């Protein structure tokens, strides 16, 4: 007697259960091996977190897959597996701009997975200091927004601290008007970070001109403040509203639909070349005729693409500047290292902040 469709469905589901059991057993086997690796690392005093190792694993698996499991799903799935296994060696401590539910917190969790231990700090300078003193293993800091530009305080910190960039992540930023109130007309005060206010400037002028605007250290802190006053609102992400039990009165109030923020992953470990990398440097160049040419020529004649140039004043010297430059390629690439060495001849000082994998959208899926 032929099997019914329900019988076939039950049979296939049974096979899925059997495969899931095998996956679970293999995950436990992997975790056991990782624990042994951790024991060896302790004995030889090696870094327990090596960012390029994760990159190598995912790149190898993506090159081997033949489907039908989506290639784009390999990175997020294995990021969580790696994160969970790493926590068995030692919880990876990641500092971020807090409190919980900031966009920096979201970026950190998307980059490191749920197995890490996330520690909130009140300022960008505190994150740099804690990473530098090895109280946390890695830090996540905002560096620029597609609407409002560079976060200058982050760039300044690279002058003061000898840390390395080992990665980057760009996430879309969607702002909401949150409040204990049920109507935006009942709101008299709005809290938020200065960047969020700037990113929602037009909407606020049109819809909330009757309100007082008070700056906070983060959007999550703004949500916390709004949760204590029924006539207050906050500009923050929807997750912050859930944590602080606020109503979402308006969504997507940012002035541009493609609003996004770039975050840097900072630490003490160098990242190996992957073939799709970016290098960041900072330098101060001698003030003399041809300065601009001397700054750009080493890269132009080698065909190296410069993706960003920013300048910051040196606070201890009037009218002198430090330049921050992002370029395509890894410091181990011959033409990149040669270009930087040629530039160094014209510099008062030059510092390589890091070579690291370029952001790809796959990390967000």
Q: Please give the backbone phi and psi of residue 113, each rounded to the nearest 5 degrees, phi first.
A: 85, 180
Asked whether residue 136 carries a pLDDT value surpassing 90, the answer given is yes
H or E stretch covering 127:
helix 124-132
Better pLDDT: 286 or 176? 176
H or E stretch covering 232:
strand 232-236
* CA angle, residues 46, 48, 54, in degrees to nearest 5: 120
Which CATH number is 5-89 given? 1.20.59.10
- CA dihedral sign of residues 28, 34, 35, 37: positive
Tell how strand 277-285 and strand 176-179 pair up.
unpaired
Asked whether residue 254 carries a pLDDT value surpassing 50, the answer given is yes
User: CA 66 → CA 16, 71, 209, 285, 362, distances in Å?
Assistant: 19, 9, 56, 51, 18
Better pLDDT: 95 or 145? 95
For the chain, what's the residue count?
365
Catalytic residue selected from 55, 261, 279, 323: 261
Domain boundaries, the chain: 5-89, 176-258, 272-365
Which CATH number is 176-258 given? 3.40.190.10
Catalytic residue selected from 103, 128, 263, 299: 263
Asked whether residue 2 carries a pLDDT value surpassing 70, the answer given is no
The mean per-residue pLDDT over the stretch 3-10 comes to 82
Which CATH number is 272-365 given? 3.30.70.260
The mean per-residue pLDDT over the stretch 173-191 comes to 94
**Which token pair is 227?**
């949760």
Please give the pLDDT value at position 364: 42
Q: pLDDT by residue (tens digit) across 61-106?
A: 988 898 899 888 888 898 889 888 888 877 899 999 888 888 999 9
Determine the Cα–Cα distance for residues 76 and 62; give it in Å rounded to an integer.
12
299 assigned to active site: no
263 assigned to active site: yes
Asked whether residue 303 carries a pLDDT value surpassing 90, the answer given is yes
């Amino acid at each position: 007697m032929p099997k019914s469709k329900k019988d076939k469905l039950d049979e296939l589901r049974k096979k899925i259960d059997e495969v899931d059991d095998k996956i679970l057993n293999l995950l436990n086997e992997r975790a056991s091996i990782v624990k042994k690796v951790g024991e060896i690392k302790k004995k030889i005093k090696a870094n327990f977190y090596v960012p390029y190792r994760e990159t190598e694993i995912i790149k190898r698996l993506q090159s081997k897959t033949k489907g039908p499991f989506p290639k784009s799903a390999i990175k997020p799935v294995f990021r969580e597996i790696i994160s969970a296994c790493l926590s068995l060696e030692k919880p990876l401590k990641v500092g971020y701009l807090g409190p919980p539910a900031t966009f920096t917190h979201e970026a950190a969790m998307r980059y490191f997975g749920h197995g890490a231990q996330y520690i909130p700090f009140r300022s960008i300078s505190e994150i740099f200091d804690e990473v530098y003193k090895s109280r946390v293993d890695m830090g996540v800091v905002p560096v620029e927004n597609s609407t409002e530009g560079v976060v200058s305080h982050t760039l300044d910190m690279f002058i003061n601290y000898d840390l390395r960039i080992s990665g980057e992540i760009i996430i879309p930023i969607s702002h909401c008007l949150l409040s204990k109130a049920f109507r935006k007309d009942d709101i008299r005060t709005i809290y938020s970070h200065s960047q969020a206010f700037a990113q929602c400037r037009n909407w606020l002028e049109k819809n909330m001109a009757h309100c007082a605007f008070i700056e906070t250290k983060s959007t999550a802190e703004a949500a916390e403040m709004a949760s204590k006053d029924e006539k207050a609102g906050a500009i923050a992400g929807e997750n912050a509203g859930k944590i602080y039990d606020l109503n979402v009165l308006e969504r997507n109030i940012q002035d541009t639909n493609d609003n996004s923020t770039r975050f840097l992953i900072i630490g003490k470990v160098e990242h190996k070349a992957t073939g799709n990398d970016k290098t960041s440097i900072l330098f101060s160049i001698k003030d003399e005729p041809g300065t601009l040419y001397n700054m750009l020529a080493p890269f132009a004649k080698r065909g190296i693409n410069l993706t960003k140039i920013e300048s910051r004043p040196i606070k201890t010297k009037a009218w002198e500047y430090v330049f921050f430059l992002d370029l395509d390629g890894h410091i181990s690439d011959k033409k990149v290292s040669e270009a930087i060495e040629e530039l160094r001849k014209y510099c008062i000082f030059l510092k390589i902040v890091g070579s690291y994998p370029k952001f790809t959208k796959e990390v967000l899926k």
